[in-house]
Amino acid sequence: MKAPNLTPDFAIRARDLWKTYSPGRSDPVEALKGINLDIPRGSIFGLLGPNGAGKSTFINILANLVNKSSGSVEIWGNDIDHSRRQASAAIGIVPQELTIDPFFTPRETLELQAGYYGVPKSERRTAEILVALGLADKAEAYTRRLSGGMRRRLMVAKALVHRPPVLVLDEPTAGVDVEFRAQLWEYVRNLNAEGITVLLTTHYLEEAERMCDRIAIIDNGDVVACDETHTLVQKLDSKEVSITVTEPITEIPTPLQNMGAQQKSPRTLVIRYRPSEVKISQVLNALDLAGLSIADLSISEPALEDLFLELTRKVNIQA
């Protein structure tokens, strides 16, 4: 058997990955349609998509909860078919569902999880992980008495007991408060700085844009975009300039009408334009031709949410 690559270039690689569900009385459902995905080692990688896009199926294949129909997947250089034990040891998964025994304490839960992965008692980091995730003062409390946010922290702690080089966070901030989100993201950044690769799924697109250095958008089982985060946003080729003029206007002047200007208030105009076709200097020249003086001006860049909506709407319309 081929020896595993101890320092692969990619934390996760999927090649021509298909998953078809075949319910007894229904037509087959193609959840994944031959996707190819490379998640670089050391990255914080976002996997985004609407409900039913295929994200959970992909993660469940990584977790060995769903069998793929065809294709190949490697986790930290280990093929999930030929080196399943090594692949499982290389990944920690925090699922959306809270899968915690209510009659165990957080300390007992982590000790049990470490034993499941065969971590020797001398190498366990239970106390360290409890402190890092703000659970030290709840270490001996039954998990059924923990708040939702505390249980979510415990789920993250469980995924880290065997020191995996790859961490998957599936909607980790769903239903938790703002304080926990801030603490979690700080901890994730620290883990990433230590060399852990993070795969994140979330419906909070602002979080993904802020946290992830690379993002893939999946819809209807296909990867419809994959690139560095700032490059993806730039591809939208759209900006919006909001202009406040010194005097109220009753009608949009012709030079600005030609640029598609819209009036939002007696003294405010908004122009949406494509930077690849129109320069901001042209907008300023049009204002000058119209005889308007600027009191204030602001330019809004496109956001990841804009690109997400544009791509997923296109796919749904074509489907």
Asked if residue 122 lies in contact with residue 130, where contact means CB atoms within 8 angstroms, the answer is: no
* pLDDT tens readout for residues 17-35: 999 998 776 788 899 999 9
Angle subtended by helix axes 148-160 and 178-193, to nearest 10? 10
211 φ, ψ to 5°? -95, -35
Asked if residue 202 lies in contact with residue 175, where contact means CB atoms within 8 angstroms, the answer is: no
Tokens of residue 119, six digits: 């971590």
232 φ, ψ to 5°? -60, -45
Query: Strands of 197-201's sheet, edge to edge?
Result: 91-94, 166-170, 197-201, 44-48, 214-219, 222-228
Question: How high is the mean pLDDT of the chain?
Answer: 88
How far is Cα of residue 305 from the mean position of the Cα atoms in its chain? 12
Domains of the chain: 1-90+202-235+304-319 (3.40.50.300), 237-301 (3.30.70.1560)
What's the whole-model pTM score?
0.78
Beta bridge partners of 12: 39, 75
* pLDDT tens readout for residues 268-318: 999 988 887 888 899 999 999 999 999 999 987 767 777 777 777 754 544
Whether residue 3 is predicted with pLDDT greater than 70 in this model: the reply is no
